[in-house]
Amino acid sequence: MIVMKFGGTSVESTAAIERLAGIVRGRLAEQPIVVVSAMGKTTNRLLEAANLAVAGKRVEALDKVESLRAYHHAEADGFGAATIIDEHFGELTELVRGLAILGELTPRSIDAISSFGERISSHVVALALKAKHVDSRTVIVTDERHTMAAPNYAETNERLKATEWGAITVMGGFIGSTLSGVTSTLGRGGSDFTASIVGAGVDAKEIQIWTDVDGMLTCDPTVLPGGRRVKSLSFAEAAELAYFGAKVLHPSTVVPAIEKNIPVLILNSRRPQVDGTRITAEGPVTTSVAKSIACKKNIALVNIQSTRMLMAHGFLRRIFEIFDRHETPVDMIATSEVSVSLTIDNFGKLETIAAELRDFAEVEIEQDKAVLCLVGDNIRWQPGVAHRVFRALDPVNVRMISQGASLRNLGLVVAQADLREAVERLHQEFFTDVDPEVFE
């Protein structure tokens, strides 16, 4: 048994769904479980409709829903999905009307409305494949943290083991339900996570993530085109890359796969003949120092300093209690005796956090920053890596540096305006002469 996850671009049109069907039918012998995202940009459009509704723009919200209904009919009616589409959009229309009356969008209602994309697309793909359909909400059980729910693995695994799978089974990614049956979601990008949860739960042979790129690349193509394909890497490297911005893989995806030692493949649904990237517990033996450069844009650098804390204990505890209380995660950190620099990508409560920090420290916030992270298992074994990095970045002002505890990543903060130049210089330094067994 294998799990095959297809992203939004792989189900965005009639042609895309037909390509998907051809790929899946070629793997019938492996009893595929197909996990799908919403068609195209459906989730974004659903949330736009919801926001219009609560803003008092009821007509505009309903017009957006009808536009979305027309899109689904245009791309999916050929698979016999007209009735299913209308049933779901009837329910969706009533929900949007209710939001317009209430004038409030809660996390629970966000989950309810954003679930429709995967609920519809999974039915459409099941019809296209003439496959068994499983409502993910009946098997993926989560806690009640709506919009970013965490799976209840014990209950989920029990339900997955008890499910009768078809020769092909289709289910929606991203969505689940609480123990009381309320619809929940795993957060944006959660379809990858669903695939990994299901794969681990059914002891799949492998988990395939089908997207619109040839696999993991040595750099983000939206920052610097022309990167090399990474043929294989370790779970640990993949996790670092995903967390620091590699968009082809959700950061949580590899967690269940690691626990069960299930290989994860990144493949291109538009070019299925390409071997993609294979992620396994242990990466290949290679002479190459790094595997890729990950990037995160729109970062804030928070510098916190307090000479009053010299030789005093509790400075870090006070800082991180504030971030914890405001549910704002920290990406990278660098510390000294009386100062801390850290990066965040969630600015929603930044001013409140800064105000509380100023009770005991000086705080400086630098906006429009970017994180770039050189990742590779060999970084920890190779002397002189930092020297090579700073030599390559000589003209670029580096605002912060942090090496992860794993010693397999070297993270830097630069001005967002300098990101492309920094990536290009590092790419030339580390990926000009590479191991052909690992890179293409």
What does DSSP say about strands 333-335 and 339-344: parallel, antiparallel, or unpaired?
Answer: antiparallel
- Interatomic CA distance for residues 271 and 217, integer angstroms: 15
- Interatomic CA distance for residues 73 and 77, integer angstroms: 5
Q: Tell me the one-letter amino acid at 313.
A: H
Q: Would you give the DSSP letter of residue 360?
A: T
Judge contact between 373 and 245, C-beta under 8 A: yes
The H-or-E segment that residue 301 falls in is: strand 292-305
What six digits make up the tokens of 181? 């049956």
Q: Tell me the one-letter amino acid at 318.
A: R
Alpha-carbon Rg for the chain, nearest whole angstrom, is 23
The H-or-E segment that residue 328 falls in is: none
Please, what are the domains in the chain?
Answer: 2-212 (3.40.1160.10), 292-430 (3.30.2130.10)
pTM (predicted TM-score):
0.87
- Interatomic CA distance for residues 300 and 322, integer angstroms: 17
Look at residue 309 in the predicted model and tell me its pLDDT: 60
What six digits make up the tokens of 343? 């990066």
Look at residue 285 in the predicted model and tell me its pLDDT: 82
Neighbouring C-alpha atoms within 13 Å toward the C-beta of 425: 16
Q: What is residue 425's three-state secondary structure?
A: helix
What six digits make up the tokens of 11? 């189900």
- Interatomic CA distance for residues 262 and 205, integer angstroms: 6
DSSP code string of 197-232? HHHHHTT-SEEEEEESSSS-BSB-TTTSS-PPBB-E
Q: What is residue 268's three-state secondary structure?
A: strand
* Biggest distance spanned by C-alpha atoms of the chain: 71
Which residues of the chain, if any, have pLDDT below 70?
Answer: 251, 308-312, 405
Q: What is residue 244's three-state secondary structure?
A: coil
Q: What is residue 64's three-state secondary structure?
A: helix
As a 3-state breakdown, the chain gives helix, strand, coil percent values, each rounded to 5, of: 40, 20, 35
Q: Output the CA torsion sign for 64, 67, 73, 76.
A: negative
- Interatomic CA distance for residues 167 and 165, integer angstroms: 7
CA distances from 374 to 110, 385, 430 (A): 36, 10, 9
- Interatomic CA distance for residues 114 and 232, integer angstroms: 34
Look at residue 213 in the predicted model and tell me its pLDDT: 87
Residue that is written with structure tokens 């939206």 in the block: 222
Q: What is residue 277's three-state secondary structure?
A: strand
Q: Output the CA torsion sign for 159, 133, 47, 52.
A: negative
Q: Would you give the DSSP letter of residue 32?
A: P
What six digits make up the tokens of 360? 């005991």
Look at residue 50 in the predicted model and tell me its pLDDT: 97
